[in-house]
Amino acid sequence: MSKAVPAVMITAPASGQGKSMVTAALARLHRNAGREVRVFKHGPDYLDPMVLEVASGNPVYQLHPWMTGEDECRWRLAEAAKTADLILIEGAMGLFDGDPSSADLAKLMGIPALPVIDAGGMAQTFGAVASGLARFDPELAVYQVIANKIGSPRHGDMLREGLPKGISLLGAIPRNDAMNIPDRHMGLVQPAELSTLDQQLDSAAEVLKAAGLNELPKAVPVAAVEPVRPQALLTGVRIAIARDIAFSFIYRANTELLLAMGAELHYFSPLTDSELPTADALWLPGGYPDLHGNTLGNNLPMREAIKAFYDAGKPILAECGGLIGCMEEFSDKAGAVHALFGLLPGQAAIAKRLQGIGMHSLNTKEGELRGHTFHRFTLNTSWQPVAYTRKQAGTGSEAVFSSKGLVASLFYSYFPSAPEVVAAIFKGQPLTYLDDKETTHA
């Protein structure tokens, strides 16, 4: 059985073309028209999905043939197709960048790619760029393109007239403040920090409507797929999860897996709460602790509660920003030093440039936990790593530290890729690491 649903991959020739905001504005435009819109994000990204959830009013999940697996990609799309009037997938980087690329995902899903091209400073060359994207891979369908940041209606007409046969211009978007969301070193600013985001999305939707982008894309068949049912490996395990503007990088699929395995989830804020929920295990996810070092350092009751949890030998998973929170000290970009949770000896600092980027996996006898790294942190600690992650392509690795019940790394993990590994971590069971030497250091 299959169902035909309008679906498209919003992509671009490169990062910085405006595809994130175009995707969000399209989602809001069709939602405001009364349609059920489901949006996905290709690849490991926490911030874009936050905005896309606000825009669409629905949950947003990652699709990545390597990190999430091809079967999960198909299942997620099939589940969305049951109720959706429109499915949008926001690509990552340029259309053909990465392995697997956005083009690879579009082909796997059987949907066309819709490139967003920054047309500023271009006229007839716009057609050449569109033609190159459409013809580079004969197996990829590209029927339409979107021109972004045009200077005038005449500019849009020139772009339309310069397109080759077989490619049409879906719309030409003028420069407009509504199409800009502020960003920082990790990506877009979090919706929780943008009090006018809803109004901005409505304004952006009107910009797209005026540009003629209210047309639904072509319907494509989406085959029904049976989901994989996880085992109840965490029945009755109470997991306390840090969640606030300092610790917010949480894949929705990760928490849903924990629930499906039988765990009880209890959220708390390391910034504002003074005690931990009653819990058997603790998860400190990534986020922006580097922007809140003073507040974290001054919340002495929470620091003491987390330290006591660690001293009791209870399981703790600390990912990227969560690891930073576990350090004795953190030096922020202004050079100010803050005392943090004090589980790991030494000091962390934030660098001016990226220190880690790419798809990674943590290899154990219990399974291969996949995910990624993307950070600017440096560590100075006396602890020796118990293992290293393995980069999918190229060189580089992330250290994994473990003591008592703590497992900490600058690596972000996608839980559904290895449920048995995740269950072992949160139950405090020892893992057998297969990569215990740093053989691929960048």
The mean predicted confidence, pLDDT, of the chain is 94
What is the reported pLDDT for 420? 97
Which neighbouring-strand residues pair with 359?
A: 372
Q: What is the fold, at CATH topology level, of the domain defined by 238-426? A: Rossmann fold (3.40.50)
pLDDT for the residue 440: 45
Q: Is the pLDDT of residue 438 over 70?
A: no
Q: Is 4 exposed, middle or buried (0-12, 13-18, 19+ CB in 10 A)?
A: exposed
pLDDT digits (tens, 9 = 90+) for 219-274: 999 998 988 889 999 999 999 999 999 999 999 999 999 999 999 999 999 999 99
Domain boundaries, the chain: 2-223, 238-426
- Is 2-223's fold the same as 238-426's? yes
Res. 393: pLDDT tops 60: yes
Please determine, for residue 396, whether its predicted confidence score (pLDDT) is greater than 90. no
Cis peptide before 270 (omega within 30 of 0): no
pLDDT exceeds 90 at position 189? no
pLDDT > 50? residue 310: yes
Weakest mean pLDDT among 141-145, 267-271, 297-301, 438-442: 438-442
Model confidence at 435, in pLDDT bands (50, 70, 90)? confident
Interatomic CA distance for residues 197 and 200, integer angstroms: 5
Query: Which segment of 22-26, 298-302, 349-353 scores lowest on mean pLDDT?
Result: 349-353
The pLDDT-based confidence of 185 (bands split at 50, 70, 90) is low
pLDDT at 178: 93
Check if 320 is active-site. Answer: yes
Span 370-389, average pLDDT? 95
The model's pLDDT over 150-174, given as tens digits with 9 standing for 90+, comes to: 999 999 999 999 999 999 999 999 9
- With tokens 């319907």, the residue in question is 219
Beta bridge partners of 373: 358
Question: Is 60 exceeded by the pLDDT of residue 439?
Answer: no
Q: Looking at residue 441, what is its pLDDT? A: 39
Question: How many CB atoms lie under 10 A from the CB of residue 202?
Answer: 16
Third-level CATH fold of 2-223: Rossmann fold (3.40.50)
- Percent of all residues in the chain with a pLDDT value above 90, rounded to a whole number: 88
Helix ranges (DSSP H) in 110-265: 125-135, 153-161, 197-210, 252-260
- Tell me the CB-side half-sphere exposure of residue 53, using CA atoms within 13 A: 15
Among candidate residues 105, 140, 320, 369, the one labeled active-site is: 320
Q: What length does the chain have?
A: 442
- Predicted confidence (pLDDT) at residue 436 exceeds the cutoff of 80: no
